[in-house]
């Protein structure tokens, strides 16, 4: 476990293995621990960096709004510290938004990008409203909010089958400070639309979606890659492909890294 300071704020990360660099970015209410199994596998052949995004895991919150650009700059700070010039970025959900912001800010540093259960589209008016409601809900009942939020990431048929895994995700999510939750929701709410990045074809992009994702509409998500060279992989489950489709995902990612 290592730390650096970005704008006087602690950013926590891990660094394992040798070879081309893979950076793994977790989603909202998650932290770098979610990648443990993937780090073990990938670090046999690659250098693998996992980073706690602002206000998550062991990274401190930074102010009242965590813009995706702030997170991207924090990621860059880690790479600068490690003297890494180029990396493949894998971003789950919010981590994908950060990956896209990083690609816009530091185009020469990105080798490939994986959007895992994520989107380049900005929030719709309805989603923005839902984020405002979520902020109100988490202020009223923190534990209840997290419990519901985590269960609702999985496809319905997996909520019983993966009950133990869901419980583990909840335990980690409960370590997220209130300020980190609110600031991240505010940041996601105002994030830019970056569909143009997928059309510019500057680097290979892989989009991985769940057909029963309760968070991202599958059909709508596919529309962003029309007339692009983005590769699409679809799983039959929900928003948590790294748990719901673990073995298939490992295979897909290793193939894309090569």
What span, in angstroms and rounded, lies between the C-alpha atoms of 217 and 152?
Answer: 14
**Number of alpha carbons in the 13 Å side-chain half-sphere of residue 252:** 21
Closest CA to 166 of 58, 240, 247, 245: 240
Closest CA to 12 of 23, 22, 20, 4: 4
Q: Supply the pLDDT for residue 53.
A: 98
- Whether the CB-CB separation of 55 and 181 falls below 8 Å is answered with yes
- Whether the CB-CB separation of 3 and 32 falls below 8 Å is answered with no
> Longest C-alpha distance within the chain, in Å?
47
Residue-wise pLDDT for 186-217, tens only, equals 999 999 999 999 999 899 999 999 999 999 99
% helix / strand / coil in the chain, to the nearest 5?
45, 20, 35
Closest CA to 69 of 6, 133, 1: 6
pLDDT tens series, the chain, 258 aa? 899 999 999 999 999 999 999 999 999 999 999 999 999 999 999 999 999 999 999 999 999 999 999 999 999 999 999 999 999 999 999 999 999 999 999 999 999 999 999 999 999 999 999 999 999 999 999 999 999 999 999 999 999 999 999 999 999 999 999 999 999 999 999 999 999 999 998 999 999 999 999 999 999 999 999 999 999 999 999 999 999 999 999 999 999 999
Q: Supply the pLDDT for residue 207.
A: 98
Closest CA to 9 of 86, 85, 70, 67: 70
DSSP state of 202: S
Domains by residue range for the chain, with CATH: 2-257 (3.40.50.1820)
Detail the DSSP E strand segments found in the chain: 2-6, 9-16, 21-25, 47-51, 87-92, 110-116, 205-210, 231-235
| pTM of the predicted model over 0.85 | yes
């Amino acid at each position: 476990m290592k730390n650096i300071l970005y704008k006087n704020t602690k950013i926590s990360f891990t660094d394992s293995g040798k070879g081309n660099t893979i950076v793994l970015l977790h989603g909202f209410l998650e932290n770098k621990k979610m990648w443990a199994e993937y780090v073990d596998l990938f670090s046999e052949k690659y250098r693998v960096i996992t980073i706690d995004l602002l206000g998550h895991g062991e990274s401190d919150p930074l102010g009242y709004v965590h813009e995706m650009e702030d997170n991207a700059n924090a990621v860059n700070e880690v790479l600068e510290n490690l003297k890494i010039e180029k990396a493949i970025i894998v971003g789950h959900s919010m981590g994908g938004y950060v990956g896209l912001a990083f690609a816009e800010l530091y185009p020469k540093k990105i080798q490939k990008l994986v959007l895992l259960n994520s989107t380049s589209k900005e929030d719709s008016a309805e989603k923005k409203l839902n984020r405002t409601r979520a902020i109100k809900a988490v202020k009223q009942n923190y534990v209840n909010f997290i419990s519901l939020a985590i269960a609702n990431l999985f496809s319905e048929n997996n909520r019983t089958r993966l009950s133990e895994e869901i419980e583990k995700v909840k335990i980690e999510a409960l370590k997220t400070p209130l300020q980190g939750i609110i600031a991240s929701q505010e940041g996601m709410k105002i994030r830019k639309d970056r569909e143009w990045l997928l059309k510019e074809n500057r680097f290979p992009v892989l989009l991985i979606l769940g057909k029963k994702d309760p968070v991202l509409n599958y059909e709508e998500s596919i529309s962003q890659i029309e007339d692009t060279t983005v590769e699409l992989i679809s799983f039959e489950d929900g928003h948590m492909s790294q748990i719901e489709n673990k073995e298939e995902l490992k295979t897909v990612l290793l193939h894309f890294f090569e």
